[in-house]
Amino acid sequence: MNMIQLFYQGTDNKVYTHWRNPDGSWSEENCLYGAPTSDLIAAQVPGTDVLQLFYREADNAIHTRWRNADGSWSGEQNIGGTLNGDPVAAHVPGTDTLQLFYRGADNGVHTRWRKPDGSWTADETLGGILNGDPVAAQVPGTDILQLFYRGTDNSIYSRYRNPDGSWSVEQPIGGKPNGDPIAAQVPGTDTLQLFYRGAGNSIYSLFRNPDGSWSGEQHIGGTVNGDPIAAQVPGTDTLQLFYRGTDNGLHTLWRKPDGSWTADESLGGALNGDPIAAQVPGTDVLQLFYRGTDNNVYSRFRKQDGSWSDQQHIGGVLSDDPIAADVVALTPVDYTVVLMLWGPPQPPHQTTWPSTLTGKDLSHALTTIAASTYFSSLTQYNIKQVAISPGDPPQLSTPKWPPGDKTFTTRFTMAQVANVVTTSFSSGVPSPDKFTGSIPVYIVITPRGGLMTDDPSSLGEHGTATWGPSNMIFIYAYVGAQADLNSTLVVATHEIVESLGENGGAPKELCDDCQSKYGTQSPGIDSYTVETYFDAETNQCVAPPGFAQPA
């Protein structure tokens, strides 16, 4: 079963996401980081279940990150190029190649494509002089990929990819767009049709004739305050256009069987950008998404009778239009928690904060907790089983633990913690590629008296990083050693549960939400004290069920 996932740029210029739950509700907002300076685009890597995001950053190069099969996300990769607009991605028909197109610094069409090993080719120029971003579309019934773009005379131009990978010369098509064109196949036909905002801010169209020539300009109607989008109504041969009207409401018109178009119809709402449309996987439901005047994501969907639902508030705070992607729903996975000590639990010079924690006791306690009902409710986040790596956690002396200052405090960053994990692979700690059938979660226990400069108030923190030439993702967390075993276990179980839940699609900051609802209680597992956590389905704290009571 697939699901819809939304991506957008937040007000802090990072990438954020929501996804649709099976019951039609939406997850809370999750941050994927990055720093885009353009619209986001999402594309499935052909022949795989991998979804990849692309965007321009402040260096004007293309940056990307991709969703792994387990639902985690890769680190950011700089692909290169020098962009003067937004990139677009297209599947090269008849191949498993994903190709990017963009307007370069010379305003020409530039491209690069993904190699089978996941690397990217160098920049290649295709020529032309653009006055906007290009759009790519497959010519229906063929293996031809065709590009369209607005030229400096504001007419539409095109070039297409030959079967040998070369490109045709530039072809003038016509029209006078006042924005970037969009391309769509007319359902039930082999006709490719272009739509754009033209004279008087109305929608105009051109379509491809069977001989490859193009029709004259056709006036469709409407009054647009942005660029229109086109979508096939699922289960029908109807092509429908959606756009923001001059009243900033959502408007639509659709193609009749005879090729004519209906009059403009208002669907309501108050938009602060262009809408997007997506089919709800496994259904004949078409769903629209858009940024509202409060910069939140809103939605409405088409009912079976052709009417539209009321507006649904999804959330987030956007600085640009959202995009939607169809992603493969996660399958349950196993996790293995790998413990390690960075330096001794209590360095000799730190006498202000004594600790009685030992690695052997911590490993034994977490093994006991993992075998209990503690992690059982994490199955809702696609977690089958949590195991603790056998053996006592190694005490790492490389890299060296930062020295303490005159207040006996050592300071470190999360980047240093990630480096501790990757450095430990040469010291016998198993690297991510050594795990088959489970995902490793590296828990670094730092000595009592340490302080993370990224968040000085934090007792522990989790994150993701990449390792090796293939940028393998791994989950890691630091846990500050506390005065005793049980106090440390509260922090450790908090970070383990949160990192697993977030990686597996948890819609909430699990432990922190639980604290806000029920207080900072800690239930017990046998003789051990653990953190409570929040069950999003039952809307209550569990860990194990029945231990946590409202404060």
Span 233-266, pLDDT tens digits: 999 999 999 999 999 999 999 999 999 999 999 9
- What pLDDT was estimated at residue 507? 54
According to DSSP, residue 133 is labeled -
Confidence of residue 74 (pLDDT cuts 50, 70, 90): confident
pLDDT at 213 over 80: yes
Bridge partners (DSSP) listed for residue 477: 443, 462
Q: Could you tell me the end-to-end alpha-carbon distance of the chain, in angstroms, rounded to an integer?
A: 39
Place of tokens 């994927």: 32
- What pLDDT was estimated at residue 122? 96
According to DSSP, residue 72 is labeled -
- What pLDDT was estimated at residue 47? 87
Answer yes or no: are the C-beta atoms of 165 and 176 closer than 8 Å. no
Higher pLDDT, 403 or 177: 177
pLDDT at 547 over 70: no
Q: pLDDT by residue (tens digit) across 504-522?
A: 666 556 677 777 766 666 7
Distance (Å, whole) CA 202 – CA 223: 5
Answer yes or no: are the C-beta atoms of 292 and 268 closer than 8 Å. no
pLDDT at 551 over 60: no
Average per-residue pLDDT in the chain? 90
Higher pLDDT, 102 or 471: 102
Q: pLDDT by residue (tens digit) across 290-316?
A: 999 999 999 999 998 899 999 999 999
pLDDT at 112 over 60: yes
Confidence of residue 548 (pLDDT cuts 50, 70, 90): very low
What percent of the chain is modeled with pLDDT above 90?
Answer: 66
pLDDT at 546 over 60: no
Distance (Å, whole) CA 303 – CA 320: 27
Place of tokens 């990849």: 52
The Cβ of residue 535 has, within 10 Å, a number of other Cβ atoms equal to 19
Higher pLDDT, 402 or 82: 82
- What pLDDT was estimated at residue 508? 56
pLDDT at 439 over 70: yes
- What pLDDT was estimated at residue 69? 66
Read off the pTM.
0.73
Bridge partners (DSSP) listed for residue 4: 326
pLDDT at 332 over 60: yes
**Which one, of 123, 7, 134, lies nearest residue 65 by Cα?**
7
Is the peptide bond between 399 and the residue preceding it cis, with omega within 30 degrees of 0? yes
Confidence of residue 437 (pLDDT cuts 50, 70, 90): confident
Confidence of residue 543 (pLDDT cuts 50, 70, 90): low
pLDDT at 45 over 90: yes
Answer yes or no: are the C-beta atoms of 494 and 531 closer than 8 Å. yes
C-alpha torsion sign, points 410, 416, 418, 422? negative
Distances, alpha carbon 523 to alpha carbons 130, 376, 514, 520, 531, in Å: 63, 15, 12, 10, 7
The Cβ of residue 101 has, within 10 Å, a number of other Cβ atoms equal to 21
CA 490, chain centre distance (Å): 30
What percent of the chain is modeled with pLDDT above 70?
Answer: 93
- What pLDDT was estimated at residue 436? 85
Residue 236, judged by CB atoms within 10 A of its CB (0-12, 13-18, 19+), counts as: middle
Q: pLDDT by residue (tens digit) across 169-206?
A: 999 999 999 999 999 999 999 999 999 999 999 999 99
Tell me what percent of the chain is helix, strand and coil, each rounded to the nearest 5.
10, 40, 50
- What pLDDT was estimated at residue 377? 74
